[in-house]
Each structure stands twice: as structure tokens, then as C-alpha cells.
């Protein structure tokens, strides 16, 4: 577009606009430099953090009664604040002037362009009006590949130059090492799998069945939500990310549940009748064991559940059946209650009953039986635990008369300790150094995991159902008549004992150096995992509780008689 | 600008009470309804001026009014460009309640593009408006540089969606170079970036729109299939090529000569690229996986955890105010690291998906460059054309027919 004017007029306009544009452009440039310098100075020498002010403040901390010093600080602070806000004001005003001068610059440049007759056209590229499509395509491909090459090279350089502190095996902050996590990765697990287990609650008593959690719990007893569980059971809740899993059963049916961690909403129910397509044959069980006493297991993608009927099922997290089998109805006086556990891609089933005692290993994805070990023990209601001794995994089972450790890979026996007796429902504990096994009317023993040597034995205040927990050389046990003891793991010496009104079936769990233990009346007792008894507090769940809680999202998930309860701070 | 309350209040002896900052009440829904109505109006008017009146002056008027209202009065927010992130977050996180207005802002320009091309870019977009109005003497960006820079918008789109869905912030909004100019406030580096883009924009047409705008990626894709896009006067073309010269976006494509390549050769090359497409896509996913840890540094929790871990291990001297604040908070290191690891896990999944997406786009670009096209006259590239109407004035046929007022 061109303005219609005489050459002389056009020249005059052109010159005027050029001068005006130069002036506004210079003004803009000067402002930009001044404001940048101001902001830079503010960043390098912030008035509010002047060394003089800091020195005076430190002197005031040493002598708070010095009124003259206090007055001096007030005056200096006032000057600092004035300087600070003065600079901010200058930057603010300068910015408005910059915007204005830039707008003027653009306006004058437009005027100059119009009066000069500068065409708003691109310079024609190449010669001729047409393009060669093949050549154009080749150039396009080459350019895209060149860009990709440069990008990948930059990524490779950048990644090589940056080393990461935050990774599962590389965390070296104090207190982060949890029992069972050695500096080297155990055989059969990669870093991701290890981290995933430690961050979730995938089996009875948490990661590896040891009862310890790397996480901390923030609870003053606030109940975040409660949800009715459709059928009763004594299995404990499990958590993987935002999903909570549980089982329940009665004479009418056996079921697997998934709940939402945030809301407590029941997401889905799967009944074994639907899974198998037929009504399940049920054995006789006692009321305090029921049909769903064994806690399921999770591996991040699947939930595995076993019931008193000997039915073993595998579902994905959406509730779809992946595989199922029946191990035969166990001849078990009270009802099967040994919980499941996974390690890598293997699911372990402790199946000790009157007719035979077996340890099964199944492939988690297909259910194929990998191996089976016959055990010369009697019926057991305890659950397998995985420990890591010198970075080597061991699968440790408690039963009468032996505590036996197996190699998870092939089922080979690693050691056995002949120390146990009675009806064993208590699982072992592990503190990174020693295995502890106990049972009421029998013994509490510490065992060397390198060869099964019994290090010490004690015979009083022993647990009947609640599995003990160990932390940094301290062993904590809870009895069914309300006594909680702490023993020195090295010697067995009793360090303290505490008595409560109700007995304990639920196993204690430890998180962040704090032990949480629910009694049969539904009161959760909180105390320090230390050599001196330090009670922190307690709160009520409102119902009886025999199952063991899970740690998830900074809170605890309890199964009470009829409900699932999340207790913790509002997240 | 720094808050007044970042340091302790002084000991006022006069009895003065320092007022506490208050959270302002949310904007009324009436204002959002007005925004929506004006957006619809602006889109409609741009379509009228571009497709019916073929008037560059009319489009310029819409640009000016959009810049004034959507830019300076509303401060550049809400805008469809940033709404991509809201929509992505709503898809990824069921607990996020996306405002209805944002949904409309996201979908309306896309719907318009499906029918009439990138009218949003031509008129209502304040970011495009400010750049369009500062253009003075357009220079042609060298082909190599132009091709390379045009790969940035889909990359930016992928990274922005990744950040939004992993709770790492809305990058598009944070790094919008013009919002600080609209609001006369913002971090100094963003103000400088705004002026830099405007300075470049005097000579390079709409640099942000062409080489960064992530929403433009979606508009470009959809515009390819538009029903009634802006066209040239092809039936009476004088073959002067002025339209190609007048388009600073280089969206007017010249005619093509007969290809000097056997059809069979071209087909073979195309088939090879199509077969390689899944591999290229997978390679993108692999690259995304490799980058998930660096990418996770976008997240404040991960960045903080890294910093704290380095301080704990003595790898860095001193501390930042963030690490100091963390230590004062009483939160355990375990909690921080656990949260960081969980976020990294989310990034792992997101980065793989982003990598697959970008790998697929890259593969399609290579494949597209292998298609031998045939053009006998000047045609508008629908994916690039901003419907700005600059080509109207340059066409001698239009001027003769008086179609361009």
C-alpha cells in the first residue's frame, strides 16, 4: 500500500519518521539496559539481605536486651525496605515506559515504511515459478533427519553429563535403608521391581512380609473414611498405588474386593462362583478363622487370592480372571490361613495341613506350577516371609517343628532350625541380621540366617496369632492376652513389657520408627520402636480388629469386623 | 514482582496494622460468558472478512480489537492455546474439574478450523494479533532453519501435555512470552522474551505462531480437512506468483514441475518408509523412556528431592531457599524421596507415550516428504495458512475485480 504524495513531501515524512523511530528506539534501548542493570543488581545484592543487617541481627540474638541495637536494626531495616521498594518501583515504571517507547517505535517504523513505499513482500526464492517436487521432498527428509540427529546427540550428551541421586538403589540419605534392602540388588529383582514393592503394601505385613515400611504415617487418629466390607474375613488389606484389595467369605460365597484408596468406594467384587463357574466345596472351619483368613498378594498388575476351599485365583487389577486352580481342600482344623507372597514373577503358597505339607511356586502370569517342595512339618497357619541375607533372598517359613529357609529360585532348602512347636500361626520377623521365630507355649528364638544356628531362646510372653516385628536389633512381640514385650535381638534379654486391656491378634507394623498395633477391641496403640517404652498415643477404630493394617498414602488401612477403615491425616 | 510479605513485618511503634493479603473472590461467570460470546463473534467476523469480503482491512480490525480485549483487558487468559493443558489434565486426572468455559475455548477454534480453516489464528488470537500487527518488513527464513524450527511445536505440545498431566505445571502459560506484556507484569526474563519475540516479529512473520505454538499443531492438522477454506482465485490466475511473495507465512505453494523420478522408485521409497514407521515410532518411545528422568525435573517435588539428596551427599555446597524450607517443614527425607520416585514413575509412563507420539509424527513427516505431489497452479497450504488475508491485496486479479476492498 502506498500513500499518494509528492516526492518532496514523501522525503520529509520519511526523514521525520526515521528520526522519530531512531529516538524512540534509542530511548527503548537505554531503558532496557537500565532496567536490566537494576534488576541484576537487585538479584546480586538484595537490600534486605545486607551483610550489615545480618551482623546486627546476630548481635541482637546474643544480647536481646540491647535496646540501642534494636533501634539501630529498625532504622537499617527501614532503609533496606525503602531501597528495595524503590528499585521495584523503578523497574515497574521503567517497564511502562519501555512498552510505550516500543509501541512508538513500531508506529514510526510503519510510518517510515509507508512513506518509503517499502513493499511488504518476500524476496522471491530461486529462479522460475515452479518447484521440483522430488528435490523438495528429498530436502525435506534430509532436514528432518538432520534435526533428529542433532536432537538425539544433545539428549545423549545431556543424559551422560547428568547423574541422578534419586533412584531406588542410589538413595543414600540416612534412614532410607529399610530392612531387606541391601546396597546391591538381590538376585531375581531389578531396581524398579524392588522400588515398587517398597513403595506399596503388596502382601501380609507389607513389603516381603516383614512388617516394616519405608514410609511414614501421619495420623492423630483421624478417620478419613470407613466402608462396609460385603463379607467377613480375617485377611488383611493390601494396597498398590490407589487400589486396596481384600477378600471375604462365608458359606454363601467367597469373594475378592477392590476399593479406592482415596474415597473408600468399592470398585468391584469378584466371586469365586463366577470365576470357577460352579459353587465351591467348602471345608469345615472355625469361627475365628473363617473362609478368608489368608491375605492375598499383589505384584503390581495382578492380585492373587487363596481361600479355605483350596481355591487359588489370579485376577488383574480390573477384576478380570487371568488364571485359577484348586489345590485340593486342605485338611485343616481351623481353616487355611497362610497368606500368599510373590517374589519377582513367582507366587509362593505355604500349604501345610494334616494330610501333607507343601510349598508351591507358581508362575504369576500363567499359574503354571514351577516347583513344589514337600515339607516334613505339621499343619501351620503362619505365612512365608522373604528376607535378604547378604543380598541373597531366602523364603522363610515357620512351622512345627522347623523354621525352614528356601531358595525362592528353585525351592532348595538353605537351612532349618529345629526349635518350634505347637499350633504355629505366627510368622517370622527379620531385622537385617537375625531371623526371629516365636509361638505361644513353645519358644521365641533368634536364628542365624547363614546356617540356621539358634542364637538364643526365651519361653515367656509369647504370641499366639500376632506375628512379631524386629527393627534395628529390637524384637517386639504381642500376646493374645494383652502383653507387649521388647527384647534385645542379640541376647533375648527383656528390655520392657507393657500390659493392655485387650489381647492382640493383629500383627504390629513399623513405619518411620513408630509401631502401630491394634488390639482385639479395635484400639490402635502407637509407641516408639525403641529400647525404652514410649507410648505416643492411641485411637479407636470403633470395631474389633484382628487383621493387620496396611500403610498407604501416609495413613493406615485397617480391616475391622465389618468395615475397611482409613485412619490418617486428611491428605 | 516480589510480595510485600516475604520477610517479617517491622515493629511498628505507631500502632499501624499491616494489612494481610486476601484471596480475591473468583471472577464472576458473567465475564466468562462474555469472553465466550466475544470469541464466537470474533471467529464469525474473521470468517466473514476472510471468506466472504476477502478484506485484509476487516481482518486487521478484528486483530486490533482482539488484541485489546483478549490481550490487554483480559490479560491473555483464558485462551485456547493454554486450554490444551486443561483438557489433557482433565483426561488424565478424573478428580480435576475442568471449567465449562475452557472446554468451549478449546473446542470452538478447532471446530471452526474443521469448517473454515485457522480463523482463530487470523483474528481472535491475541498472541497472533500482537505479532501480526508488528510485522514491518518480512524476511524469508532460510529453508533449513525453517524446517528445523517447524519441528518444535509438536515437541512443545508433547512436553506441555506431559507436564500438565504429571502435575508439573502449565508450561504453555508459564512460558507465554506475551502475557507479561499484556499484564505489564511478570518475571523479567519473560518480559525480555516478549520484547524479543516482538522485535523478531518485525522481520519474521509471527515467530511464536510458526515455531512454537502448540495449539497451532492441532489447528494445522484439522485445517487440512476444512470444508470451506480460504482460497486463491485459481480459476482466473494470472500466474504472476505475487500471492506467493505476499504470504509471509509461505503458505502459498507454487506449482510443481513434472517429477523427474520414475513412479516405481517413488513408490518403493514410500513403502520402505511406511514399513519403517512402526520402528521410528518405537524409537521415539524408547527415547522418551530414556528421557523420563531428566523430564521429571520439571516437577517441583523431583527437583527438590534431587537438590536435597545432593546436599545430603555433599555434592553441592550451600542450600537453596526451597531446600531450607523443606528442612524447616519437618517432612522426612523418606517421604520426599518416596514422593519423588512416585512422580518419576508417572513420568516414565508419560514420557514413553510422548515419545511414541513424537516418533509417529516424525515418521509421518518423513513419509509425507516422500509423497510426490502434483500442482499446476498456486495453492494455499491449509495447514499453514493463518487466514490473515495478506494475499488478497497482492493479487492483480482480485484488485481488478474489486474483490479486495
Dihedral (Cα; A173, A527, A459, A204), 10-degree rounding: -70
User: Is B242 touching A (CB cutoff 8 A)?
Assistant: yes
Cell digits for A122? 518476500
- A556 in Cβ contact with A224 (< 8 Å): no
> CB B313 to CB A165 under 8 A?
yes
The per-residue pLDDT for A295 is: 97
| Length of chain B as a residue count | 405
Q: For the beta carbon of residue B213, count every other beta carbon within 10 angstroms.
A: 24
| B226 touches A at CB < 8 Å | no
The whole-angstrom separation of Cα A211 and Cα A515 is 10
A116-125, A226-235, A460-469: least confidently modelled range: A116-125
Percentage of chain A modeled with pLDDT above 90: 53
φ/ψ of residue A418, rounded to 5: -90, 90
* H or E stretch at A514: strand A514-518
- Which residue is listed with cell 546436599? B311
> pLDDT > 70: what percent of chain A?
89
- Give the torsion through C-alpha atoms of A101, A102, A107, A109, to 10 deg: 110
Q: Per the CB < 8 Å rule, is B137 touching A120?
A: yes
Classify residue B70 by its DSSP letter. Answer: I
pLDDT at A120: 57
Is A132's pLDDT higher than 80? no
Q: What is the pLDDT of residues B54-111, one digit of tens each?
A: 899 999 999 999 999 999 999 988 789 999 999 999 998 888 888 888 999 999 999 9
Q: How far is CA B234 from the centre of its chain?
A: 31
Exposure string of B286-323, with b = 16+ CB inside 10 Å and e = fewer, is ebbebbbbebbbbbebbbbbbbbbbbbeeeeeeeeeeb
Q: What pLDDT, on the 0 to 100 scale, is given for residue A504?
A: 96
- Chain B positions touching A91 (Cβ under 8 A) are 1, 188
Q: What is the pLDDT of residues A350-387, one digit of tens each?
A: 999 998 999 999 999 999 999 999 999 999 999 999 99
3-state secondary structure at position A52: helix
Nearest beta carbon to residue B309 from set A168, A173, A215: A173
| pLDDT higher at A131 or B350 | B350
A284, three cell numbers: 469345615
pLDDT at A91 over 50: yes
CA distance B388 to B395: 14
Q: Are strands A535-540 and A413-418 parallel, antiparallel or unpaired?
A: unpaired
Confidence of residue A73 (pLDDT cuts 50, 70, 90): confident
Strand order in the sheet with A494-499: A469-471, A474-478, A483-488, A494-499
Are the beta carbons of B250 and A98 separated by less than 8 Å? Answer: no
B137 neighbors A113 (Cβ within 8 angstroms): yes
Nearest CA in chain A to B248: A122
User: In this predicted structure, which of A125-139, A224-238, A359-373 has the lowest mean pLDDT?
Assistant: A125-139
Does the beta carbon of A423 lie under 8 angstroms from any beta carbon of chain B? no
Q: How far apart are CA B202 and CA B138, in angstroms?
A: 7
Q: CA-to-CA distance for A374 and A356, rounded, in angstroms?
A: 8
What span, in angstroms and rounded, lies between the C-alpha atoms of A154 and A162? 12
Q: Do B246 and A121 touch (CB under 8 A)?
A: yes
* Orientation angle between helical segments B214-223 and B80-92, nearest 10 degrees: 90
Give dist(CA A568, CA A553) in Å, integer.
9
B260 near A CB under 8 A: yes
Query: Measured between CB atoms, which of A133, A141, A171 is closest to B337?
Result: A171
Which residues does A66 contact at the CB level (< 8 Å), separation at least 6? A59, A60
> Which residues neighbour B145 within 8 Å (Cβ) at sequence distance 6 or greater?
none
Closest by Cα among B69, B349, B385, B365 to B210: B385
Q: Which residues of chain B have pLDDT under 50?
A: 1-4, 404-405
User: What is the CA B319 to chain-centroid distance, rounded?
Assistant: 35
Q: How far apart are CA A96 and CA A525, in angstroms?
A: 63
Contact B335 A39 (CB under 8 A): no
Residue A145 φ/ψ, nearest 5 degrees? -65, -40
A175 to B334: CB separation less than 8 angstroms, yes or no: yes
A36 and B335 within 8 Å at the Cβ level: the answer is no
Task: Kindly list the strands in the beta sheet with A550-552, ordered across the sheet, starting from the edge strand earlier in the chain.
Answer: A223-228, A563-567, A555-559, A550-552
Q: Assess contact for A515 and A475: CB atoms under 8 A.
A: no
Query: Does A148 contact B335 at a Cβ distance shorter than 8 Å?
Result: no
Mean pLDDT over the full length of chain B: 86
Pairing of strands A509-511, A212-213: parallel
Taking CB atoms and an 8 Å cut-off, how many pairs form between chains A and B?
A: 187
Chain A residues within an 8 Å CB radius of B198: 102, 106
Report residue A157 CA to chain centroid gap.
31
- Round the average pLDDT of chain A to a whole number and report it: 86
Tell whether A51 is within 8 A of chain B (Cβ): no
For residues A343 and A188, the answer to whether their CB atoms sit within 8 Å is yes
CB contact under 8 A, B333 and A144: no
Nearest Cα residue in chain B from A142: B366
pLDDT (0 to 100) of residue B3: 46
Comparison of pLDDT for A466 and B291, the residue scoring more: A466
Contacts with B, A 244-273, CB within 8 Å: 262
- pLDDT at A121 (0 to 100): 58
Structural contact between residues B396 and B240, judged by C-beta atoms closer than 8 angstroms: yes
Asked whether residue A127 carries a pLDDT value surpassing 80, the answer given is no
The model's pLDDT over B283-321, given as tens digits with 9 standing for 90+, comes to: 999 999 888 888 888 899 899 988 888 888 777 777 888
Of A88, A136, A146, the CB nearest to B2: A88
Chain B contact present for A81, CB below 8 A: yes
Query: CA nearest A48 in B: which residue?
Result: B7
B246 and B394 in contact (C-beta within 8 Å)?
Answer: yes
Do the beta carbons of residue A69 and residue A56 sit within 8 Å? yes
Residues of B within 8 A of A61 (CB-CB) are none
pLDDT band at A1 (very low <50, low <70, confident <90, very high): very low
Beta-bridge mates of residue A456: A446
State whether A39 and B188 contact (CB < 8 Å): yes
Tell me how far apart the alpha carbons of residues A331 and B232 are, in angstroms, rounded to a whole number.
87
Interface of A with B in 131-160 (CB under 8 A): 131-134, 136-141, 143-148, 152, 155, 158-159
Longest dimension (CA), chain B: 91
Q: Determine how many CB atoms are found less than 10 A away from the CB of residue A452.
A: 19
Task: Say whether residue A89 is in contact with chain B using an 8 A CB cutoff.
Answer: no
**Widest Cα–Cα separation across chain A:** 117
What is the rounded distance in angstroms from the CA atom of residue A480 to the CA atom of residue A466? 8
Which positions 93-152 of B are in contact with A (Cβ < 8 Å)?
A: 95, 133-140, 143-144, 147-148, 151
Q: Quick one: pLDDT at residue A92?
A: 83
Q: Where are the alpha helices (DSSP H) in B48-187?
A: 56-66, 80-92, 100-116, 119-122, 126-134, 143-149, 152-165, 171-174, 179-183
Q: Which residue has the higher pLDDT, A126 or A508?
A: A508
Amino acid at each position: 500500500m502506498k500513500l499518494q504524495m509528492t516526492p518532496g513531501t514523501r522525503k520529509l515524512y520519511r526523514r521525520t519518521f526515521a528520526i522519530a523511530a531512531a529516538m524512540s528506539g534509542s530511548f527503548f534501548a537505554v531503558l532496557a539496559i537500565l532496567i536490566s542493570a537494576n534488576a541484576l543488581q537487585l538479584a546480586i545484592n538484595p537490600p534486605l539481605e545486607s551483610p550489615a543487617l545480618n551482623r546486627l541481627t546476630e548481635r541482637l540474638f546474643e544480647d536481646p536486651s540491647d535496646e540501642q541495637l534494636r533501634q539501630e536494626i529498625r532504622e537499617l531495616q527501614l532503609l533496606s525496605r525503602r531501597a528495595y521498594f524503590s528499585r521495584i518501583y523503578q523497574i515497574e515504571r521503567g517497564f511502562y515506559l519501555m512498552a510505550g517507547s516500543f509501541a512508538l517505535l513500531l508506529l514510526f517504523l510503519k510510518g517510515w515504511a509507508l512513506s518509503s513505499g517499502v513493499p511488504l513482500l518476500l524476496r522471491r526464492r530461486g529462479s522460475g515459478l515452479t518447484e521440483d517436487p522430488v528435490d523438495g521432498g528429498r530436502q525435506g527428509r534430509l532436514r528432518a533427519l538432520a534435526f533428529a540427529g542433532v536432537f538425539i546427540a544433545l539428549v545423549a550428551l545431556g543424559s551422560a553429563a547428568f547423574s541422578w541421586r534419586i533412584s531406588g538403589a542410589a538413595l543414600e540419605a540416612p534412614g532410607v535403608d529399610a530392612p531387606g534392602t541391601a546396597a546391591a540388588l538381590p538376585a531375581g529383582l531389578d531396581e524398579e521391581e524392588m522400588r515398587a514393592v517398597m513403595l506399596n503394601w503388596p502382601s501380609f505385613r507389607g513389603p516381603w512380609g516383614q512388617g516394616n515400611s519405608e514410609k511414614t504415617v501421619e495420623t492423630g487418629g483421624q478417620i478419613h473414611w470407613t466402608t462396609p466390607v460385603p463379607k467377613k474375613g480375617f485377611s488383611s488389606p493390601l494396597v498398590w498405588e490407589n487400589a486396596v484389595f481384600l477378600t471375604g467369605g462365608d458359606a454363601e460365597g467367597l469373594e475378592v474386593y477392590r476399593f479406592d484408596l482415596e474415597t473408600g468406594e468399592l470398585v468391584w467384587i469378584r466371586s469365586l462362583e463366577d470365576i470357577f463357574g460352579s459353587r465351591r466345596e467348602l471345608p469345615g472351619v472355625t469361627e475365628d478363622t473363617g473362609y478368608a483368613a489368608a491375605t492375598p498378594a499383589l505384584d503390581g498388575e495382578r492380585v492373587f487370592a487363596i481361600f479355605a476351599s483350596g481355591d487359588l485365583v489370579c485376577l488383574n487389577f480390573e477384576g478380570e480372571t487371568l488364571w485359577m486352580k484348586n489345590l485340593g481342600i486342605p485338611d485343616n482344623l481351623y481353616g487355611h490361613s497362610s497368606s500368599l507372597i510373590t517374589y519377582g514373577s513367582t507366587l509362593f503358597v505355604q500349604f501345610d495341613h494334616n494330610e501333607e505339607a507343601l510349598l508351591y511356586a507358581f508362575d504369576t502370569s500363567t499359574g503354571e506350577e514351577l516347583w513344589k517342595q514337600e515339607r516334613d512339618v505339621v499343619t501351620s497357619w503362619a505365612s512365608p516371609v522373604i528376607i535378604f541375607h547378604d543380598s541373597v533372598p531366602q523364603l522363610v517359613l515357620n512351622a512345627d517343628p522347623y523354621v525352614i529357609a528356601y531358595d525362592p529360585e528353585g525351592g532348595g532348602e538353605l537351612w532349618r532350625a529345629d526349635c518350634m512347636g505347637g499350633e504355629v500361626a505366627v510368622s517370622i520377623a527379620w531385622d537385617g541380621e537375625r531371623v526371629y521365630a516365636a509361638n505361644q507355649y513353645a519358644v521365641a528364638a533368634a536364628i542365624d540366617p547363614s546356617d540356621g544356628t539358634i542364637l538364643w531362646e526365651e519361653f515367656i510372653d509369647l504370641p499366639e496369632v500376632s506375628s512379631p516385628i524386629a527393627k534395628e536389633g529390637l524384637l517386639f512381640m504381642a500376646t493374645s492376652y494383652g502383653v507387649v514385650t521388647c527384647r534385645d535381638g542379640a541376647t533375648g534379654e527383656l528390655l520392657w513389657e507393657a500390659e493392655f486391656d485387650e489381647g492382640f491378634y493383629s500383627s504390629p507394623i513399623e513405619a518411620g520408627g513408630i509401631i502401630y498395633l491394634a488390639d482385639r477391641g479395635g484400639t490402635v496403640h502407637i509407641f516408639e520402636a525403641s529400647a525404652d517404652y514410649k507410648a505416643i498415643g492411641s485411637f479407636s477404630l470403633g470395631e474389633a480388629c484382628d487383621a493387620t493394617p496396611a500403610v498407604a498414602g501416609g495413613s493406615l488401612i485397617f480391616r475391622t469386623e465389618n468395615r475397611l477403615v482409613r485412619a490418617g491425616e486428611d491428605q | 514482582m516480589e510480595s510485600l510479605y516475604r520477610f517479617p513485618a517491622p515493629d511498628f511503634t505507631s500502632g499501624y496494622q499491616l494489612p494481610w493479603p486476601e484471596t480475591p473472590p473468583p471472577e464472576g461467570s458473567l465475564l466468562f460468558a462474555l469472553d465466550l460470546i466475544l470469541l464466537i463473534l470474533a471467529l464469525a467476523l474473521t470468517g466473514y472478512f476472510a471468506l466472504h469480503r476477502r478484506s485484509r482491512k476487516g481482518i486487521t480490525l478484528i486483530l486490533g480489537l482482539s488484541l485489546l480485549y483478549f490481550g490487554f483487558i483480559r490479560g491473555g487468559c483464558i485462551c485456547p492455546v493454554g486450554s490444551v493443558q486443561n483438557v489433557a489434565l482433565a483426561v488424565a486426572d478424573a478428580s480435576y474439574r475442568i471449567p465449562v468455559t475452557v472446554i468451549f475455548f478449546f473446542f470452538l477454534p478447532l471446530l471452526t478450523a474443521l469448517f473454515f480453516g485457522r480463523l482463530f489464528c487470523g483474528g481472535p488470537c491475541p498472541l497472533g494479533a500482537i505479532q501480526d500487527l508488528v510485522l514491518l518488513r518480512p524476511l524469508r527464513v532460510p529453508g533449513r532453519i525453517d524446517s528445523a524450527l517447524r519441528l518444535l511445536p509438536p515437541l512443545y505440545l508433547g512436553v506441555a501435555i506431559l507436564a500438565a498431566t504429571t502435575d508439573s505445571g502449565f508450561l504453555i502459560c508459564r512460558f507465554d512470552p506475551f502475557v507479561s506484556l499484556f499484564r505489564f507484569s511478570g518475571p523479567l526474563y519473560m518480559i525480555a522474551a516478549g520484547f524479543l519475540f516482538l522485535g523478531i516479529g518485525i522481520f519474521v512473520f509471527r515467530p511464536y505462531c510458526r515455531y512454537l505454538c502448540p495449539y497451532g499443531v492441532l489447528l494445522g492438522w484439522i485445517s487440512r480437512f476444512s470444508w470451506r477454506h480460504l482460497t486463491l482465485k485459481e480459476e482466473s490466475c494470472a500466474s504472476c506468483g505475487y500471492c506467493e511473495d505476499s504470504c509471509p507465512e509461505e503458505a502459498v505453494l507454487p506449482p510443481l514441475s513434472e517429477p523427474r523420478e520414475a513412479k516405481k522408485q517413488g513408490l518403493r521409497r514410500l513403502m520402505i518408509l511406511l514399513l519403517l514407521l512402526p520402528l521410528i515410532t518405537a524409537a521415539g518411545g524408547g527415547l522418551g523412556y530414556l528421557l523420563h528422568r531428566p523430564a521429571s525435573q520439571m516437577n517441583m517435588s523431583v527437583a527438590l528431592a534431587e537438590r536435597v539428596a545432593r546436599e545430603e551427599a555433599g555434592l553441592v555446597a550451600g542450600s537453596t531457599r526451597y531446600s531450607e524450607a523443606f528442612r524447616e517443614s519437618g517432612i522426612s527425607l523418606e517421604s520426599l524421596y518416596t514422593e519423588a520416585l512416585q512422580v518419576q514413575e508417572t513420568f516414565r509412563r508419560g514420557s514413553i507415550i510422548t515419545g511414541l507420539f513424537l516418533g509417529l509424527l516424525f515418521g509421518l513427516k518423513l513419509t509425507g516428504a516422500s509423497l510426490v505431489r502434483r500442482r499446476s497452479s498456486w495453492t494455499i497450504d491449509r495447514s499453514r495458512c493463518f487466514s490473515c488475508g495478506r494475499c488478497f491485496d497482492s493479487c492483480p486479479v482480485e484488485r481488478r475485480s474489486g474483490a479486495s476492498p
